[in-house]
Amino acid sequence: MTDATPWTRDIPPIQGLGLMRLKDDGWGDSDRDPAVLVRTAVDAGVTLLDTAEMYGNEALVGRALGSHRDQVTLCSKFGVYWGESGRFDGWSVRADPHTVHTAIDGTLERLGVDHLDVYYLHHRSEETPIEETVAAMAELKQAGKIRHLGLSNVTVDDIRRAHAIHPIAVVQQQWSLAHREAESFLPTLAELDIALIAHSPLGHGSLTGSDDTPLVHSLARIASNRGMTTGQIALAWVHHRGNDAAATVVPLPGTSSISHLRANIDAAQLVLDSSEIEQLDAGSQIVP
C-alpha cells in the first residue's frame, strides 16, 4: 500500500512546535495565551503542531487551534499511559489493535477534528508486535481518521518491520547535542524516504546554560559572540546537521511561550560556521 500525498500540506516546515507543556492557565497571558501561540506559529510558517494523548491537553490544543486547522499539519500520539495515581507510579505502553482503535476516537473528539495528519505510536511495545500495531493504524487510515502513520521512541529494526506492513511517513526521536543517538537512524530513514522529527533539540533544557559542562561553555561562548542564547545555538546546530542529512529532518522544539517560540524561529535562520560546528561537535563528545 502506498501513499502519493505528502505528509505535510506542502513542503516540510522548517521547524515544528511541540505542545507538551501547553496549559489552560495561559489564556489571556501576553506571553502564554494558547491561541496567540498557535496563531504566531502559523503566521511564521511553523505549521507542524505536535501533541499526544499522554500529555493530557488535546482538548486545549483543539481550542487553541481554532480556525487554523486547515493551515497546519496536526499530529498526536497514542500508546503511553500513566499509572492509576498519575505520573508518580510509572507508565506503561499499550499498543494492541483494540487500543489503537479506541485511542484515535478519543483523540479526535478531544481535538475537535475529524482526522489527524500524522498519528504516532508513542513508544515501542515489548508485548505487542509492531506489525500488529501498524496493521491496526493502517485501518485507521483506510477509515479516513488519519492521513499518515508515524513512530516514536523505536529502534531501526522496528522501523523496517513496521514499514514492511505499511509505509511509515515520519519517525520522531530525540536529537540534540546532548543526545545524538538518532544519527544512527538517518541512513535507514533516507533509504525508506521517512522524515525524522527531532524532538527535544535543546536536550530537555540541559543545553540552555543551567549545566556546568564543557559543551555548555562552548555554547555560551558562541552565543555571546553571536548575540544569541545558548538554546538558540543548540537549536541552530540541529538545523545544520539536519540540512546535511540525506533524510528530511524537522526539528521540534517545544514551548508554551510566545517569546521562546519567536527565539526558536530566529534560530532556524542562523547559519553556524565550520569552526562553530567543530567546537560543538567536539563538546558533544560523540563522533557523527
Strand partners for 173: 198
CB of 216 within 8 A of CB of 172?
A: no
**Which of 55, 81, 119, 120 is flagged as catalytic?**
55
Residues pairing with 48 in the sheet: 16, 73
DSSP H helices in the chain: 34-43, 58-65, 97-111, 130-142, 156-165, 186-192, 214-226, 230-244, 258-268, 274-284
Cα-based angle 183, 127, 163 (whole degrees, multiple of 5): 45
Residue 130 in contact with residue 124, Cβ under 8 Å? yes
Q: How far is 11 from 13, CA to CA, in rounded Å? A: 6
184 neighbors 198 (Cβ within 8 angstroms) = no
- The 3-class SS string of 112-165 reads CCCCEEEEEECCCCCCCCHHHHHHHHHHHHHCCCEEEEEEECCCHHHHHHHHHH
Residues for the chain: how many in total?
288
Catalytic annotation present for 55: yes
User: So which residues are the catalytic ones?
Assistant: 55
